[in-house]
Structure 1
């Protein structure tokens, strides 16, 4: 079993359920070390003072916030500590909402919340909360502090466990002002054709059907290099050109799907 990232309690009303936090997603990316190409030595990252051109020890590094005017406001460790989130071991539930009311764009990183301790009482309280939330189809919204950052979180039931997902705050979502598409509103015939194409491509969602093809290709390259092979870069694919006749493109796409 993986190690918990955090232990504490899930609190709502007068109920406190001891829980441990486990990451529900794992990093499958292939990570590379930066090397000096000439001799293969590892590249080190050091902190230098731009004025004195000397390396600076970590304990001598301050914190500066640059204002719009270009002036810097320097804060000490003590001043930062004064406004740091209160370090508690509690996920404080503030409200319950319907799952469909939460815009998925707000969701960030998923975790599992698992009951901790060997006694039967906490496990029963955990199971009661799971069953109650599953029956009501509600999502719990709350806050907790992980390391030094306070997070807004959503807690819901998945596979008989409580799943916690960190969330973005509303003001962290960028508005669409300035990036919304232009163009004239399409006619009903074009919309109907596009809807039929979408329906033709519709299927039941199976997450296992989607693989990280880049990662698979990269693993093959590493295996080939390990065996002393050479890798030739493929010719770049031609970028598809915009369809000059949208209706004709939709018609041909539907015909190919039916064929």
Structure 2
């Protein structure tokens, strides 16, 4: 794994030297833009509309647009002056319960490993978090961006998940057409809750796969092999019907997912038992 950050976790006066690694990877299939006439990849070029010419990296500066076409210029030395030592420290501010954190706040996950002689302090923090069942809420700066972060344990690894600040979460009042109060039919609600129970399983991440990416990779492999490929539509899911009535839709869903009662033998066994009874008589 590639180290993306190096610093320390601090809680109280304890410092835990760590290295950071990205815990997730982008497996989306990315297509490049090609020139239709010759097939050459198209490069992105930065140009100035006023000077009508290509601009090099050494000719670019940063500016904040506070009004239309009005900018405050920020030089690198200005930015350096306000960058704190916190850029190298994950400072734990509080410890909270995981259930108190809405998943809406989470951004990106990272693994943290002990650095150099920090194994003792690393193990101490890991065990303290594991045995108390708490989650550390910290502040960190990565690539000039300050973030909240949740520090927790995954197996025997300290994991950090960057979080949005509260003012970065949009208010629900901006979402159109939300009901002011929920009014439902009690019978329909009972059936819906039964359906939820019948579909409830222990979370097993490996059972979920990206079917679209798999199909797209197969399509690409077939094209590389020179095969003529036609796009076909997958058949509709078994048991699905064109039900419009909500009650009928719930009942149809329950019928499809309904498990056999534990006391009832499978149909094949019931048939065999019936035949045996007939033979005996």
Unaligned runs of 5+ in 2: 260-281
Residue aligning to 1:213: 211
CA distance in 1, matches of 2:88, 2:18: 10
CA distance in 1, matches of 2:241, 2:215: 27
| Aligned: 1:11 with 2:7 | no
Contact 1:84 1:148 (C-alpha < 8 Å) held by counterparts: no
The alpha-carbon distance between structure 1 residues 229 and 204, as it changes in their structure 2 partners (threshold 3 A), is same
| TM value normalised by structure 2 | 0.82
Which segment drifts farther, 241-250 or 193-202?
241-250
Alpha-carbon RMSD across the aligned residues, in angstroms, is 2.5
SS in 2 for 1:191: helix
Residues 151-206 of structure 1: per-residue CA shift (max 9 Å, x gap): 21110111111100000111111222233434961121111111011111111110
CA distance in 1, matches of 2:256, 2:33: 47
The alpha-carbon distance between structure 1 residues 241 and 149, as it changes in their structure 2 partners (threshold 3 A), is farther
Residue aligning to 1:188: 186
Q: Aligned to 1:155, which of 146, 151, 157?
A: 151
Which segment drifts farther, 127-136 or 45-54?
45-54
Q: How does 1:228-239 map to 2 (within 5 A)?
A: 228-234=226-232
Residue aligning to 2:50: 51
Larger Rg: 2
CA distance in 1, matches of 2:43, 2:76: 30
SS in 1 for 2:3: coil
| Aligned: 1:145 with 2:141 | yes
Unaligned runs of 5+ in 1: none
Residue aligning to 1:179: 176
SS in 2 for 1:65: strand
Contact 1:23 1:110 (C-alpha < 8 Å) held by counterparts: yes
